[in-house]
Amino acid sequence: MRFRPCIDIHNGKVKQIVGSSLRDKNDEAKENYVASQDAAFYAGMYREMGLTGGHIILLNPVSSPFYEETKKLAIGALGACPGLMQVGGGITAENAAEFINAGASHVIVTSYVFKDGEINYTNLQKLKEAVGKEKVVLDLSCKNVDGKYYIVTDRWQKLTDVELNEGTLDLLSEYCDEFLVHAADVEGKQKGIEKNVVKILGDWGKIPVTYAGGAGSLDDVKELKEIGKGRVDVTIGSALEIFGGSLKLEDIIDICK
């Protein structure tokens, strides 16, 4: 189990938000923390600490007037830690190589491969051909619907018909190097992890997978490690001291080890 660092960028600022509050309309989100430093500052910090495999997420849609500013910060962060972090947000087969060339180890993709609520195999194949399977991370962020978890797209606003389960993980692992899974119902709330999602991921465990959402204490991290059988990596944002929370990076890293 590894700790994976994160940098979320919204409206041209590094932020921690409540995931379920994000709205493309008017670029709205409930904010937990807005950083005074830019994304490159955090990327450099992670590099100095030897942290790798984390993700930089652009939370504005390409249509947003803030998108270019958000993208500029993301590119700057990639330049501060070349080859060490992944990037997601508005990634397609057409622009994936641009982010890889800017220093991303992987591109993270959701909406491009889930269209009209279904898996778009044509786009999956295009993405695989554009940068190679070994540089693709599929974001299978999900929400609970009647006890089952369904993948959500477009910054966690659109529900698909694709359930997060062993069959889906088996199928999609043919097209990617890793999975990233935000439990969107608890993202940014620091009130505990979505245990059932962690169990699904830990029971499967065939390629690297990172879980995000709800961890607010060291006990939450320990519980994730146990339920995930040590196979599920973790990323934490709002609960960290560096983002206005109370948890120290070093303590989380120690538990993961």
What's the topology of domain 6-256? TIM Barrel (3.20.20)
- The neighbour count for residue 4, using CB atoms within 10 Å, is 23
- Mean pLDDT of the chain, nearest integer: 93
Residue 16: its pLDDT value, please?
85
Q: Which residue has the tokens 């500013």?
A: 69
pLDDT category at 240 given cuts 50, 70, 90 is very high
pLDDT in tens, 137-162: 999 999 999 999 999 988 677 899 99
Q: How far is residue 116's CA from residue 82's CA, in Å, rounded to a whole number?
A: 35
Contact by Cβ (8 Å): 90, 58:
yes
User: How far separated are the first and last CA of the chain, in Å rounded?
Assistant: 7
* CA distance linking residue 253 with residue 67, whole number of Å: 32
**pLDDT at 227 exceeding the cut of 90:** yes
Residue pair 191/216 in contact (Cβ under 8 Å)? The answer is: yes
Residue 22: pLDDT band (50, 70, 90) is low
For strand 232-235 and strand 142-145, is the pairing parallel, antiparallel, or unpaired?
unpaired
- How much is the pTM? 0.93
Over range 198-202, report the average pLDDT.
98
Question: Is the per-residue pLDDT at 20 higher than 60?
Answer: no
**pLDDT tens for residues 46-79?**
999 999 999 999 999 899 999 999 999 999 999 9
Q: What is the pLDDT of residue 32?
A: 77
Q: SS3 for 108?
A: strand
Tokens encoding 63: 């249509």
Is pLDDT at 108 greater than 60 in this prediction? Answer: yes
What are the structural domain ranges in the chain?
6-256
